[in-house]
Amino acid sequence: MVLVITEPVKSLSKRVCVIGAGPSGLVSARELKREGHKVVVMEQNNDVGGQWLYQPNVEEEDPLGKTKTLKVHSSIYSSLRLLSPREVMGFSDFPFTAKEGRDARRFPGHEELWLYLKDFCQVFGLGEMIRFNVRVDFVGMVNDDTTDDDDDRMKRWMVKIVEKETGEVTEEVFDAVVVASGHYSYPRLPSIKGMNLWKRKQLHSHIYRVPDPFRDEVVVVVGCSLSGQDISIELVGVAKEVHLSGKSLDIPPGLSKVISKHQNLHLHLQIESLEEDGRVIFEDGSCVVADTLLYCTGYDYKFPFLESKGRVEVDDNRVGPLFEHTFSPYLSPSLSFVGIPRKLIGFPFFESQGKWIAKLLSGEITLPSSDQMMQSIYDFYSSREADGIPKRNTHDIADFNYSDTYADYTGFPHLEEWRKTLCKNSILNSIENLETFRDSWDDEDLLQETLQDPYFSQLSTP
């Protein structure tokens, strides 16, 4: 083991560890760098991209992802295309424009977004800050001998990393840690009667890549999410039968059109039980003998490396307590999280998070008191409960106004109206036209007007 000890940084420039070189980690690193901090990005894979770094080889991964440490981070499948149009996805000063010789479609495949992130990394000189092929094994406070009433905001952090190729372990001390490790890797599984006794193939969509292995099979897709719908559409071309199981038979028009078009695609209510002989019994009383169960049931937030002494925990997929989904009231700003919220326009939001963290660490701005942050968190939890939102959906925002309110903490620009409108239009189009919305739309006039915005004339090439 190699132990690296550094003296505390006495200036307002902090030594910061960013965990993850996906979109949220890269833009956070850039904002920290701009603010004058010394940044080290720890990335477990051999390139940037996070989820968007496609990993085709999944044979060594547990099919249901039940191991503590996953071998595969990305859950991207080969045919995946973006759900949102490229115009809305770029960072505030780096538009996601089409490049000659690359995938120029408005809803491109996943590789195009990965290349965009590589361009971003190159243009802003982030590569020199990134350590590849290292796994963060442990993050914990140094000399945690203070109480929550003391000034925990000056804490330092021990980060233990493991070189994936050699197994060499290194420990380093940082003034702050930014967790940007993503939340689409650890499978979230349902609890189904007989699940552990069902002897046939079961896997989570985390390791789904291509449809060929399911040729001529009877496949039950569990979960009517967007990924469940997307994968089911792909499977009907090779599988004998595809049975899509969801919470309700009240489905969007686009999915109804798909089901009516394919005779081998069937919709059911949730699974009531699994039988040892291969039968899958649904709540609606129907039954099929299946070859494979494919769970498209979402993902869990997990931070197996983090030891916060109970100050930050995951309870039924609620990470908390976190002020504005970012800061622990008793460990901020030295510990922060980027990319926790879901169902919003991600890249600009991650950017605003990174900017807030960077300015807090440099002392340019401050947070409310710990008590004020806790009260804000309790008020937020109460409002979610009053709205009937389950705890597991705490971080599902689905509100453009939240992004603007968040931006006001640092003076970050609000989302442009064209960005909001184009995003809404694509969502509505996908609801009505599930199979075709990525290639056919009715807001072309708005799109052409939008492309004249000065935003799209900014530098976006290496």
- The answer to whether residue 435 scores a pLDDT higher than 80 is yes
195 burial level (CB within 10 Å; 0-12, 13-18, 19+) = middle
- The encoded tokens of residue 335 equal 């510990």
- The answer to whether residue 92 scores a pLDDT higher than 70 is yes
Q: Is 146 part of a structural domain of the chain?
A: yes
Number of domains in the chain: 2
User: What's the confidence (pLDDT) of residue 461?
Assistant: 55
Residues 174-203 have pLDDT tens digits of 999 999 999 999 999 999 999 999 999 999
SS3 340: coil
Same domain, 35 and 135: yes
Contact 287/279 with Cβ under 8 angstroms?
A: yes
User: What's the confidence (pLDDT) of residue 155?
Assistant: 85
Single residue among 295, 326, 360 that ends a domain in this structure? 295
Q: Is 90 part of a structural domain of the chain?
A: no
Q: Is 323 part of a structural domain of the chain?
A: yes
Contact 332/367 with Cβ under 8 angstroms?
A: yes
SS3 289: strand
- The answer to whether residue 134 scores a pLDDT higher than 50 is yes
Q: Is 77 part of a structural domain of the chain?
A: no
Longest dimension (CA), the chain: 69
* 2 — pLDDT class (breaks 50, 70, 90): very low
User: Residue 218: which residues within 8 A CB-CB, separation 6 or more?
Assistant: 239, 240, 241, 243, 288, 289, 290, 291, 292
User: What's the confidence (pLDDT) of residue 7?
Assistant: 39
Same domain, 136 and 25: yes
User: What's the confidence (pLDDT) of residue 161?
Assistant: 97
Contact 340/325 with Cβ under 8 angstroms?
A: yes
Same domain, 137 and 166: yes
User: What's the confidence (pLDDT) of residue 143?
Assistant: 76
Could you give the CA distance from residue 312 to residue 319 in angstroms, rounded to a whole number?
A: 7
Place of tokens 């991600």: 346
Q: Mean pLDDT for the chain?
A: 93
Q: Is 447 part of a structural domain of the chain?
A: no
Could you give the CA distance from residue 190 to residue 282 in angstroms, rounded to a whole number?
A: 14
Same domain, 179 and 309: yes
Single residue among 262, 295, 328 that ends a domain in this structure? 295
* 330 — pLDDT class (breaks 50, 70, 90): very high
Tell me which residue range forms the domain holding 304. 15-48+126-185+299-415
Same domain, 212 and 285: yes
Q: What percent of the chain has pLDDT over 70?
A: 94
Amino acid present at 396 = D
SS3 282: strand
- The answer to whether residue 4 scores a pLDDT higher than 60 is no
Q: Is 118 part of a structural domain of the chain?
A: no
Could you give the CA distance from residue 86 to residue 111 in angstroms, rounded to a whole number?
A: 13
Distances, alpha carbon 176 to alpha carbons 127, 356, 378, in Å: 20, 14, 26
Residues 36-68 have pLDDT tens digits of 999 999 999 999 999 999 999 999 999 999 988
Contact 443/425 with Cβ under 8 angstroms?
A: yes
Report the CATH number at residue 277. 3.50.50.60
What is the DSSP track for 148-182?
A: TTS-GGG--EEEEEEETTT--EEEEEESEEEE---
Single residue among 391, 415, 439 that ends a domain in this structure? 415
Instruction: Give pTM, 2 decimals.
Output: 0.93
User: What's the confidence (pLDDT) of residue 145?
Assistant: 59
Same domain, 140 and 215: no
Same domain, 409 and 305: yes
Contact 288/218 with Cβ under 8 angstroms?
A: yes
Residues 287-315 have pLDDT tens digits of 999 999 999 999 999 999 999 999 999 99
Residues 98-111 have pLDDT tens digits of 999 999 999 999 99
User: What's the confidence (pLDDT) of residue 460?
Assistant: 54
- The answer to whether residue 259 scores a pLDDT higher than 60 is yes
Could you give the CA distance from residue 353 to residue 351 in angstroms, rounded to a whole number?
A: 5
Same domain, 169 and 39: yes
- The encoded tokens of residue 115 equal 């290349």
Same domain, 25 and 137: yes
Same domain, 162 and 311: yes
Q: Is 53 part of a structural domain of the chain?
A: no
Q: Is 98 part of a structural domain of the chain?
A: no
Same domain, 278 and 313: no
- What would the mean pLDDT of 395-406 be, rounded to a whole number? 94
Same domain, 284 and 227: yes
User: What's the confidence (pLDDT) of residue 151?
Assistant: 47
User: Residue 5: which residues within 8 A CB-CB, separation 6 or more?
Assistant: 173
pLDDT higher for 99 or 152?
A: 99
